[in-house]
Amino acid sequence: MLDFISQPWTWWVSGIIISSTMFLLLFFGQSFGFSSNLRTICAAVGGGKFVKFFDFNWRSQIWNLVFLVGAILGGFIAKQFLSTGAPVAISENTISDLAKLGISAPTSVQPNELFSMEALFSVKGFLILAFGGLMVGFGSRYAGGCTSGHAISGLSDLQLPSLIAVIGFFIGGLLMTFVLLPLIF
């Protein structure tokens, strides 16, 4: 059994579990939207004293911070107990496209060129991680949600704003992938 679930999980298994997560959160009186935690953290560390946007009852969102802690724990469990250590099995086409950018084929989950300690402590590597995070944090709040809030929860409720946001996600993602990444690497 453990051997079986230590293999990478098929897409539909993942899809079923993600939508189940959304429904269980609804059943527990909440909703599935991860990026709200970023705003909650800003409020929890006292951001509300300086910026009105963070002056709200963040304690009502503690459940979501607990969910976040669970997600960290889930990553830890996956690594320690459910991992074969095999590299991510991405397509050959992606491997050869990334090779042109100087990113070597997967040896684990993440590319060393971006996430190794050497990369982190280089100026360029640090700036990549910092700007990536900055844009995710800024953009998700500007758009009012991220992949969970818009692409999963919002589209499930057939909300047009969420569809527009997801189209935005792809405009940005394609622009980065095909225009900016070749300039960066």
Partner 1 sequence: MKFIKFLVLGTLFGIVMAKSEAFSWFRIQEMFRFQAFHMYGIIGTAVTLGVIGVAIIKKYQIRDIAGNPINFYPKDKAVSRYLIGGTIFGLGWALSGACPGPMVVNIGYGYLSMIVVFVFAIIGTYLYGIVKDKLPH
Q: How far apart are CA 140 and CA 151, in angstroms?
A: 12
Q: How far apart are CA 147 and CA 79, in angstroms?
A: 23
Whichever of 5 and 102 has its CB closer to partner 1, that residue is 5
Question: Do 22 and 152 form a contact (C-beta atoms < 8 A)?
Answer: yes
Q: How far apart are CA 41 and CA 144, in angstroms?
A: 16
Give the CA distances from residue 62 to residues 66, 99, 116, 164, in Å, rounded to whole numbers and listed in that order.
6, 43, 32, 29
Give the CA distances from residue 68 to residues 111, 116, 159, in Å, rounded to whole numbers and listed in that order.
24, 24, 25
Identify the residue among 1, 3, 5, 85 touching partner 1 (CB under 8 A).
5
**Number of residues binding to partner 1, judged by CB under 8 A:** 123
Identify the residue among 18, 60, 122, 182 touching partner 1 (CB under 8 A).
18
Q: The tokens 């995070």 sit on which residue? A: 133
Residue 182: CB minimum distance to partner 1, A: 12
Identify the residue among 51, 60, 122, 124 touching partner 1 (CB under 8 A).
51
Identify the residue among 76, 99, 122, 182 touching partner 1 (CB under 8 A).
76
Identify the residue among 59, 60, 99, 126 touching partner 1 (CB under 8 A).
126
- Restricting to residues 129-158, which ones interact with partner 1 according to CB under 8 A? 129-144, 146-148, 150-158
- Binding of partner 1 by 99 (CB under 8 A): no
Residue 3: CB minimum distance to partner 1, A: 13
